[in-house]
Amino acid sequence: MINRKKAVSTVIATILMINTAIAMGVIYVFWANGLLGTYTSKALVYFMLLEDRRDEEITLEKVWFESTNNITLIVRNIGIKDLNITTIYVNGTAITQYNTTKTLPYKMYVGQRRAFSVTYTWATGSIYPIIVATSRGNQGKGEWVAP
Amino acid sequence: MKLVRRKRGVSGIISGIFLVAVTVMIFGAMVSQYSLFENYNSAVQRAEQRAWERYNERLVIVGVTANSSYLNFTVTNCGSVTAHIVDVFLRFVNGTNKLYTIDVWIAPGSSKQIVAYNIRLGLNDKYDFQIATERGNLISPTPVNQAGSQYYYYYNGGYYYYNNPGGTTPGGYQPMPFIFGFGYNDFQYSTASASGPWSPAWIMPKGSRPWFRVLLNNTYSKDIVLQGTHTRLVFYQDDQWQPRQAVTLVNTPISAKSGVYVYFDRIPNQFPNTANQHLYAMIEAFYYFTDNPSQVMGTTVTILAVYLT
């Protein structure tokens, strides 16, 4: 019996150990690969978003205070990526409707210029901060004095 | 014994393979990371390049020909990048705004007359305008000689002029007609008498108490009068800010588009008796237009540099 307890031969023991080592190694490699893969893909998305944001640029060229409750903004995409205008802020008020019936977001192509007519009651001589915000978080902004 | 040796040999190979696999993975991750950083840096550089170009795009509208039924103006590119003018914004006196598209390229250092045949002006249209470039810069015409709280170009079939409905103000639109030419003899002194003989005052004798005269040009289209007593030539020593003032004793008229010497009395105290003493000089000018003597306006004209020998 004592002899049989020692009966797992050296060969078997070696094979078992090698198999165990290979299995653990494979598991480790897959785990590490998955971990790195997750990290690199997240980093890829993060940097792609940053890049896109950097390549996007918008400018608020001109503001016309027209009838007493109407402001027209002339916006130009001066970046190298198409962009989406999601919100226009006039004096802190978020506006998503323009040209009477249309609703933001509005997609602007590279180099495109577009007039947005928004409804807002303004007063002569008052200063109005105006911001045009994009989906990537960029802004075209400025302050205008109503004539 | 052979098996024991083989066991070591196999596990060495396998662990070696794993080691290589892990190293490759880590190396791959590093390369990927480096590539991401590199791409992001390129995006940053592109953004900075665009910003640089935008800031270095400088256009000046040097002339507007308003006696034309089309918008007609000349633009000079003073910047270091080629400019592409894409928009024209017109604003009429009656409050109407219009936006037009044009397509004009101007190389650095060159000028171009732009006759915008798509922008037709009606008789007696009063308007001002701005142009916009592809990089997002907005340029207004430069007012020349005249100013007011508001101005417009005026097409009346043959002439144009600035309409100045608001009159002059003490703010940024105050007319500033004086130009000092910085000529060798434009700034003179005399130690003998109020009538000369005169010498250039850029370098003056130490310890002296001279009279002065300064050649001022009135570039405005109206006659002006410089007020006596209040108009002063003020000297500041560069190590102290207690000025010496030389005053004009009489009113000095300067006709439109001409220049005259403005005479100043002796300074009340002599200059320091020290050689190589440096002084700054500035003219405090108080003036009025002959057609409106009750509106006295003040300005500083220039800063001159003087040293004593």
Interface predicted TM-score (ipTM) of this complex, two decimals: 0.72
Does B66 share its domain with B50?
no
- Give the pLDDT band of residue B266 (cuts 50, 70, 90): confident
A55 touches chain B (CB under 8 A): yes
Q: Do B87 and A113 touch (CB under 8 A)?
A: yes
Domain boundary among A54, A80, A96: A54
Give the C-alpha separation, A79 to A139, whole Å: 12
Does B50 share its domain with B119?
no
| Closest residue on chain A to B139 (Cα) | A61
Does B27 share its domain with B69?
no
Does B183 share its domain with B303?
yes
Handedness of CA A4, A6, A12, A13 (dihedral sign): positive
More confident residue, B294 or A138: A138
The per-residue pLDDT for B172 is: 36
The per-residue pLDDT for A77 is: 93
How much is the average pLDDT of B81-97?
86
The per-residue pLDDT for A4 is: 55
The residue segments making up the domain with residue A20 are 2-54
- Whether B170 is in a domain gets the answer no
Q: Give the residue from B308, B234, B237 showing the smallest Cα distance to B265.
A: B234
Does A89 share its domain with A134?
yes
| Closest residue on chain B to A11 (Cα) | B3
Q: Do B43 and A25 touch (CB under 8 A)?
A: no
A82 touches chain B (CB under 8 A): no
Does B125 share its domain with B28?
no
Does A15 share its domain with A44?
yes
The per-residue pLDDT for A87 is: 94
Give the nearest partner residue to A76 out of B39, B97, B136, using CB atoms.
B136
Does A101 share its domain with A61?
yes
How much is the average pLDDT of A1-5?
53
- Give the alpha-carbon dihedral of B183, B185, B187, B193, to 10 degrees: -170
A136 touches chain B (CB under 8 A): no
Does B238 share its domain with B300?
yes
Does A84 share its domain with A135?
yes
User: Considering its fold, how many domains does chain A have in total?
Assistant: 2
Domain boundary among B154, B189, B214: B154
Domain boundary among B10, B26, B55: B55
Does A78 share its domain with A17?
no
Label residues A88-108 b or e (16+ Cβ within 10 Å = b): bbbeeeebeebeeeeebebeb
Q: Do A21 and B26 touch (CB under 8 A)?
A: no
More confident residue, A64 or B62: A64
The per-residue pLDDT for A75 is: 93
The per-residue pLDDT for A37 is: 81
Percent over 70 (pLDDT), chain A: 95
Provide the token pair at A7. 């009966």
Give the C-alpha separation, B235 to B244, whole Å: 5
| Closest residue on chain B to A21 (Cα) | B11
The per-residue pLDDT for B144 is: 45
Does A63 share its domain with A47?
no
How much is the average pLDDT of B77-94?
87
- Give the pLDDT band of residue B241 (cuts 50, 70, 90): low
Does B304 share its domain with B208?
yes
- The shortest C-alpha distance from A91 to chain B (Å) reads 22
Give the single-character DSSP code of B141: B
Does A8 share its domain with A40?
yes
A101 touches chain B (CB under 8 A): no
The per-residue pLDDT for B230 is: 85
- Whether B168 is in a domain gets the answer no
A139 touches chain B (CB under 8 A): no
The per-residue pLDDT for A89 is: 94
For residue B42, list chain A residues with Cβ-Cβ distance below 8 A. 51
For residue B95, list chain A residues with Cβ-Cβ distance below 8 A. 66, 147
Provide the token pair at B183. 């000529």
Does B84 share its domain with B112?
yes
- The shortest C-alpha distance from A61 to chain B (Å) reads 7
B160 close to B64: Cβ distance less than 8 angstroms = yes
- Whether B79 is in a domain gets the answer yes
Chains A & B: contacts with CB separation below 8 Å:
95
The per-residue pLDDT for B259 is: 79
Does A35 share its domain with A63?
no
Does B298 share its domain with B223?
yes
Q: What is the pLDDT of residues A52-70, one digit of tens each?
A: 999 999 999 989 988 878 9
Does A38 share its domain with A61?
no
How much is the average pLDDT of B287-301?
80
Does A137 share its domain with A71?
yes
| Residue ranges with strand state E in B205-264 | 211-218, 224-226, 232-237, 244-247, 252-254, 258-264
Give the nearest partner residue to B50 out of A21, A36, A57, using CB atoms.
A57
The per-residue pLDDT for B227 is: 86
How much is the average pLDDT of A74-100?
92
Does A90 share its domain with A137?
yes
- The shortest C-alpha distance from B158 to chain A (Å) reads 30
Give the nearest partner residue to B138 out of A40, A62, A115, using CB atoms.
A62
Domain boundary among B154, B186, B218: B154
- Whether B197 is in a domain gets the answer yes
Least confident of A103-117, B196-210, B236-250: B236-250
Q: Do B89 and A62 touch (CB under 8 A)?
A: yes
A44 touches chain B (CB under 8 A): yes
- Give the pLDDT band of residue B66 (cuts 50, 70, 90): low
Greatest mean pLDDT among B70-79, B82-91, B181-190 lies in B82-91
Provide the token pair at B270. 């002599």
The per-residue pLDDT for B166 is: 38
How much is the average pLDDT of A112-128?
90
Query: Hey, which residues does B278 pair with through a beta bridge?
Result: B307
Percent over 90 (pLDDT), chain A: 44
Residue among B26, B41, B99 with most chain A CBs within 10 A, to mutate: B99
Q: What is the pLDDT of residues B37-61, one digit of tens each?
A: 888 888 889 988 998 998 888 888 8
The per-residue pLDDT for A29 is: 80
Give the nearest partner residue to B136 out of A51, A54, A61, using CB atoms.
A61
A42 touches chain B (CB under 8 A): no
Does B272 share its domain with B189?
yes
- Whether B172 is in a domain gets the answer no
- Give the pLDDT band of residue B91 (cuts 50, 70, 90): confident
From residue A69, how far is each of A65, A116, A141, B57, B160 by CA, in Å?
8, 14, 20, 35, 34
Q: Do B39 and A11 touch (CB under 8 A)?
A: no
Instruction: Please determine, for residue A33, whether its predicted confidence score (pLDDT) is greater than 70.
Output: yes
The per-residue pLDDT for B164 is: 43
Q: What is the pLDDT of residues B168-204, one digit of tens each?
A: 333 334 455 677 777 788 889 998 888 889 999 888 8
A117 touches chain B (CB under 8 A): no
Give the nearest partner residue to B43 out of A10, A21, A55, using CB atoms.
A55
Question: Residue B264 sits in a domain of what CATH number?
Answer: 2.60.40
For residue B25, list chain A residues with Cβ-Cβ distance below 8 A. 29, 32-33, 36
Give the nearest partner residue to B29 out of A25, A28, A36, using CB atoms.
A36
Does B79 share its domain with B15?
no
User: Considering its fold, how many domains does chain B have in total?
Assistant: 3
- Whether B162 is in a domain gets the answer no
The residue segments making up the domain with residue B108 are 59-154
- The shortest C-alpha distance from B130 to chain A (Å) reads 10
The per-residue pLDDT for B115 is: 84
Question: Residue A87 sits in a domain of what CATH number?
Answer: 2.60.40.1930
pLDDT mean across residues, chain A: 87
A54 touches chain B (CB under 8 A): yes
- Whether B173 is in a domain gets the answer no
Does A83 share its domain with A141?
yes
Within 13 Å, how many C-alpha atoms sit on residue B34's CB side? 6
Instruction: Please determine, for residue B244, whether its predicted confidence score (pLDDT) is greater than 50.
Output: yes
- Give the pLDDT band of residue A108 (cuts 50, 70, 90): very high
- Give the pLDDT band of residue B145 (cuts 50, 70, 90): very low
- Whether B119 is in a domain gets the answer yes
Does B63 share its domain with B120?
yes
